[in-house]
Amino acid sequence: MVRQERLAATDAGSESKRDEAVNRQLLAAAGFRDATAQVKRAERDLERTHVIAPYDGRVRSELVDPGQFVNRGETLANLYSVDVAEVRLPVHDEDLAFLPLTLDGALDPAARLDVVLRARFAGREHEWQGRIVRTEGEIDPGTRMVKMIAQVQRPYDQPDGTPPLTVGLFVDAEIHGREVEDAVVLPRFALQSEGRVHVIEPDDRLAVREVEVLRLLGEEAYVLGLRTGERVSLTRLPGAVDGLRVRTAGDGDAPAAAP
């Protein structure tokens, strides 16, 4: 610029070249000021930038690397909360009769559905206490199962040295359903046919009794319709009718139909 002014003073350069040099200097100065402002703005943004999780949790996966540039709205990581753990439990639709839940996931406000979760971890059996809070509101068409959601508070902060209920752990669940008055548990094979058992009367005669089968669980049958103290035949007697005289194990022989 100084050179252009000297050339102009000695009439050795044109006035237009001097003007061009002045314009270039002004543009460069403006560009410098703009770049300086951008640097300061970036420094302020960096000072005000904090990545804060919306809850106490753990990082499941990272989606960025140190030094990587990220854009607004870009996902940085996947987190999960450690305040509460949720476990999806498949329950057969028939078992919902014993639980105060409906298909829309509503839970009776007065009900408290406790659940015990069990798993074998590090060579030992462990338990965690939780509660059923809702269902997913639909039935799996393939399995006829309803997914119930159990919550365990503070899964990574368990008392008495219990290991944490870690994400991905497979568990068995025991749900405490409603109580049924006067229900009787029988060996499953005591059912002579669907909904029928053979009751042995005090005079050792057979009575065919209709019972309500509440549920079948493994080798056990939960039924209604029997009175306290009644004897039930555990021997299958096809074609047996009311009044048939029988011998019981207490007579010294295996239970069998008498002649």
Of 192 and 9, the structure prediction assigns the larger pLDDT to 192
pLDDT digits (tens, 9 = 90+) for 212-222: 998 888 899 99
Q: What pTM does this model have?
A: 0.62
Q: What is the pLDDT of residue 115?
A: 94
Q: What is the pLDDT of residue 252?
A: 47
> Is 194 in a helix, a strand, or coil?
coil
CB atoms within 10 A of CB 115: 21
Domain extent listing, the chain:
2-48, 81-175, 184-257
pLDDT digits (tens, 9 = 90+) for 239-257: 788 888 888 876 544 444 4
Query: What is the average pLDDT value for the chain, to the nearest integer?
Result: 83
Nearest to 219 by CA among 237, 200, 234, 239: 234
pLDDT digits (tens, 9 = 90+) for 35-75: 999 999 988 887 877 788 888 888 889 999 988 888 888 89
CA 187 to CA 196: how far, in whole Å? Answer: 13
Phi, psi of 28 (to 5 degrees): -65, -40
Query: Would the CATH topology of 81-175 be identical to that of 184-257?
Result: no
Question: Residue 124: exposed, middle, or buried by beta-carbon count in 10 A (0-12, 13-18, 19+)?
Answer: exposed
pLDDT digits (tens, 9 = 90+) for 88-138: 999 987 788 888 766 565 676 667 789 999 999 888 899 999 999 888 878
Cα-Cα-Cα-Cα dihedral sign, residues 103, 106, 112, 116: positive
Q: What is the pLDDT of residue 40?
A: 92
Q: What is the pLDDT of residue 10?
A: 53
Confidence of residue 231 (pLDDT cuts 50, 70, 90): very high
Q: What is the mean pLDDT of residues 164-182?
A: 89
Looking at the domain 81-175, which fold is it? Elongation Factor Tu (Ef-tu); domain 3 (2.40.30)
Nearest to 103 by CA among 147, 59, 52, 71: 147
* Residue carrying structure tokens 């899964």: 155
**CATH code 2.60.40 for 184-257:** no
Q: What is the mean pLDDT of residues 171-188?
A: 90
pLDDT digits (tens, 9 = 90+) for 73-96: 889 999 988 899 999 999 987 788
Q: What is the pLDDT of residue 56?
A: 86
